[in-house]
Amino acid sequence: MAKIIGFSGSTVKSGVLEKAMEQVLKSTGHEWELVRLNDINMKYCTGCVGCGTTNRCVLKDDINEILDKILEADAILLGGVARFGKLNALTKVFIERLFPFVHRYMLTKGKIAATVAGGFFHQEVVKDELSSILQTLGMEDVGSITIDGNASCFKCGYGETCNYSAFRAKYGQDAKITDDVFYVFDKDEKAVEKATLLGKKIAEAINQKAKNLK
């Protein structure tokens, strides 16, 4: 059985992004694992280029183990969310730490990959950023989906009154934060269907690649 590994760039455990990614992963019908980037020991890339000779990072953290997981996997799923109109910082830090792959051999060339982009706003921007990263790494991009999310304004205590509230910007100046405005992935049938179809596309790509190798 093939193995798919997902990387969630959300800082919210069991939040919308992770629910969507889990749906994609389990829909592949293969063995899968979801890594929460917020839980691993991951430093910033220092640009030392110490990885240029060995394709391994010289920093002492969890990244070399993650690099091995990616190389061993039959496919990867990368998920990130929008912050300040762009891909969030946690996901960007992770992407920069994939630099050891690109030296001389492009070790990720042809690796099957897909993405999930979430956020309260700007999901399409994140989708484009993630797809661009897959292209840079030489991966086979088999698809992506965008999903909605919840604003921090929902829980800060000032979402209904703050003049800069993302909640008010989306729902109106007089809107009230009630249970029905919270986005729940499992209740969004269209989003669940999109995630399921993406999982099946990943499985199809894996099966086709296996046939081509015979």
Mean pLDDT within 55-62:
96
pLDDT at 99 over 90: yes
pLDDT confidence of 213, banded at 50, 70, 90?
confident
pLDDT at 214 over 80: no
What are the residues whose beta carbons fall under 8 Å from the beta carbon of 60, sequence distance 6 or more? Answer: none
pLDDT at 104 over 90: no
Instruction: Identify the residue with better confidence: 112 or 153.
Output: 112
Q: Which residue segments constitute the domains of the chain, with CATH numbers given?
A: 3-148+185-212 (3.40.50.360), 150-182 (no CATH)
Is this structure's pTM higher than 0.85? yes
Mean pLDDT within 102-112:
93
Mean pLDDT within 138-161:
94
Using one digit for the tens of pLDDT, what is the confidence trace for 183-205? Answer: 999 999 999 999 999 999 999 99
pLDDT confidence of 211, banded at 50, 70, 90?
confident
Please give the torsion angle defined by the CA atoms of residues 154, 157, 161 and 165, in that order, rounded to the nearest 10 degrees: -40
Using one digit for the tens of pLDDT, what is the confidence trace for 45-56? Answer: 999 999 999 999
